[in-house]
Chain A
Amino acid sequence: MPYHEFECSKCIPERKMHAVIKGPGEDLSMALPLGYLNTIPGTISERGCAYCGAKHVIGTPMKDVIHMSHGPIGCTYDTWQTKRYISDNDNFQIKYTFATDMKEKHVIFGAESQLKQSIIDAFKAFPKIKRMSIYQTCASALIGDDIDAVAREVMEEMPDVDIFVCNSPGFGGPSQSGGHHKINIAWINQKVGTIEPKITSQYVINYVGEYNIQGDAEVMVDYFRRMGIQVLSTFTGNSTYDDLRGMHRAHLNVLECARSAEYICNELRKRYGIPRLDIDGCGFKPLSDSLLKVGMFFGLEKETQALIDEEIARWKPELDWYAKRLKGVKVCLWPGGSKLWHWAHTIHDEMGVEVVSVYSKFGHQGDFEKGISRCEEGALAIDDPNELEAIEAMKTLKPDVIFTGVRPGEVAKKLGVQYLNAHAYHNGPYKGFEGWVRFARDIYNAVYSPIHQLAGLDISKDEISVDQGFSTRRMISDVNLSEEEANTSGERPYSGDYDCVTKLRGKTYPIPLAKQDEVLSGAV
């Protein structure tokens, strides 16, 4: 597997070790991009900082918490509302963001008193909220404010509140991934085991590394509950602060995003003996295998298989409709950490999409081992690309669509390449069987959008067709399909609801959990 040197980065020779092309017959022992290293001077990285990784990615999805940044206002503003980790409590954690608003005078004289007053003010402004996370920033770290001491002082004065302190300043690692690590360890050190959760089942899991982007966690938790399993906590999407304090009582940690949350799973295994099971929640086959593993762990194979059969019967004809039309579509899979490998093989296998490149801004070498193993030969794997490299890759690889975040996504659009938001999603959830069809639907809509076709034309020089008044996606996507292929009996486009998540809230799961309650109480 040869390293790949970008033309635009020849002046930064160190960059060569950060990109690899997967060649025929080559394996991981031959080349692997470097990863999780400090950004090379001269390359303009698009990474996030360690504060952002701690607060924005992992901390803030906790739903009943005042999330307070101890720093300048910009730190909290720039980590606000760009990820759609919704919750079933009216999205409190997305609606509001809090900061101590540090200024120059605080840098000179200290900001501990400002911090204490901000904590008290925030609790007073939201009297029903009794939990808080405080996030250190570069400014408060550099002046040495003792956030833990202030938090302890407030908790003594206000005994009904509980405060978590996350000391992960922006400079605390090469990228946001440093913050993922720090908040994992801080949470288990400070909070896990400080509350005893109510156990209502013989089968208890933590669902870890899942942030409820547009309802992903709620879809998966619905599956687990239908199987008869109690989900003690979701780390951290749609979870309460106190749910996460009780993680030590689960029987199994089901790990989705190993990049952001393997640390707490590893620690829970070492400290409490809870095993870690890595799963894939994306794609029909990987999801089916994953649910089956969780079911088997508890002896619930029958219930699990019934759920899988029901879901596949409902959604497979819709996936097939899209797969037929997505075959051969070229994609650059440029998401964050875990979707690099959650999606690489299964979009190819189940939708026929060709992954021509994978990249990650903050993934570690372990993520590239997984991603490269799962994508097909010829794919270009890039660690921490700068904008010029991404542009060069798009120009040479000529993808039809990019799965990435908002910032590189908008650059792609300017080059006439469509993009899907891989971080916050376009019309998610994308997890679960229905979610996978929604993802296929969004890819289809991106690739075959008529406006996208028009946007590539320059009216000052291109020839504009005037013999056709309009076109639709079907007119573009079905050009190469025979009549029989285009109208296969049973296959259909997505037929689910615009909102497929809200109806899951308040749903009851009477039979299996009731049975288990009887078992637990000794009635059976």
Chain B
Amino acid sequence: MEDLMKDRIEQLVDYIMKWCLWQFHSRTWDRKRQNEGILTKTTQLLCKEPVEHETPEDKCYWVDAVVLAGSFKSTYPWLSTLDNEEIKRLMQGLKDRIDFLTITGSLNQELTDPNY
């Protein structure tokens, strides 16, 4: 079961790393903000929960999340077999992995530069 979850998370990671740019902002604080903002909204969309997009910042996360959620659904049919609890666990695992690859496990030495 755990292997299946891990395999599915890796499929989603591959999609993001190949087709998205938002996870690669240039500083740690930006990457944290981007990963949190977009993946939280993507989870809400996949779970058919309300998503805030009133402020310009939220709206910007939301458009990335809408396209990502749509791509996930069309690329990975198994997503439709999951209930909301399973989707949330899956997406938390995805966020942990993306955070690792782009922030905590990243070898990019510029991430901690205090200036833009």
Contacts and interface: CB of A to CB of B under 8 A. Distances in A.
A297 B116 contact: no
Interface in B27-72: 30, 56-57, 59-60, 62-64, 66-67, 71
Residue from the set A280, A364, A369, A374 with the largest chain B CB neighbour count within 10 Å: A369
A373 B56 contact: no
A366 B21 contact: no
B21 A258 contact: yes
B95 to A, nearest CB: 16
Contacts of A274: 56
B67 A373 contact: no
Interface residues of B, number: 29
A374 B18 contact: yes
B67 A289 contact: yes
Residue from the set A263, A297, A341 with the largest chain B CB neighbour count within 10 Å: A297
A192 interface: no
Contact of A275 (B60, B102, B105): B60
A117 to B, nearest CB: 37
B81 to A, nearest CB: 25
A208 to B, nearest CB: 13
A292 interface: yes
Interface residues of A, number: 40
Contacts of B76: none
A70 to B, nearest CB: 26
Interface stretch (A26-34, A58-66, A226-234, A436-444): A26-34
A267 interface: yes
Nearest to B64: A293
Interface string A36-55: 10000000000000000000
Interface in A336-379: 341, 345, 364-366, 369-370, 373-374
A276 B56 CA distance: 10
A328 interface: no
A373 B63 contact: no
B63 A277 contact: yes
A289 B15 CA distance: 14
Contacts of B71: 289
Interface of chain A: mostly helix, strand, loop or mixed: helix
B5 interface: no
A222 to B, nearest CB: 21
Nearest to A266: B116
Contact of B108 (A267, A285, A369): A369
Given A266-B116, A286-B19, A29 B57 contact: no
Contacts of A294: 63
A248 to B, nearest CB: 14
A262 B25 CA distance: 9
B108 A278 contact: no
A369 B63 contact: no
A279 B64 CA distance: 10
A277 B60 contact: yes
A296 interface: yes
Interface string A265-291: 011001001111111100001100100
B31 to A, nearest CB: 10
A275 B59 contact: yes
A252 interface: yes
Interface string B65-94: 011000100000000000000000000000
B90 to A, nearest CB: 19
A292 B107 contact: no
Contacts of B106: 28-29, 32, 369
Contacts of B19: 285-286, 289, 345
B24 A293 contact: no
A296 B110 CA distance: 32
A296 B26 contact: no
B18 A373 contact: yes
Contacts of A251: 56
Residue from the set A36, A285, A365 with the largest chain B CB neighbour count within 10 Å: A365
Interface of B: 17-19, 21-22, 24-26, 30, 56-57, 59-60, 62-64, 66-67, 71, 100-102, 105-110, 116
Given A36-B110, A297-B60, 17 more contacts: A27-B101, A29-B105, A29-B106, A32-B106, A34-B109, A274-B56, A275-B59, A277-B60, A278-B21, A285-B19, A289-B67, A293-B67, A345-B18, A345-B19, A364-B26, A365-B107, A366-B24
29 contacts: A28-B101, A28-B105, A28-B107, A29-B105, A29-B107, A252-B60, A262-B25, A270-B116, A273-B57, A275-B56, A275-B57, A275-B60, A276-B60, A277-B63, A278-B21, A296-B62, A296-B63, A296-B66, A341-B21, A345-B18, A345-B19, A364-B26, A365-B107, A369-B24, A369-B102, A369-B108, A370-B21, A370-B24, A373-B17
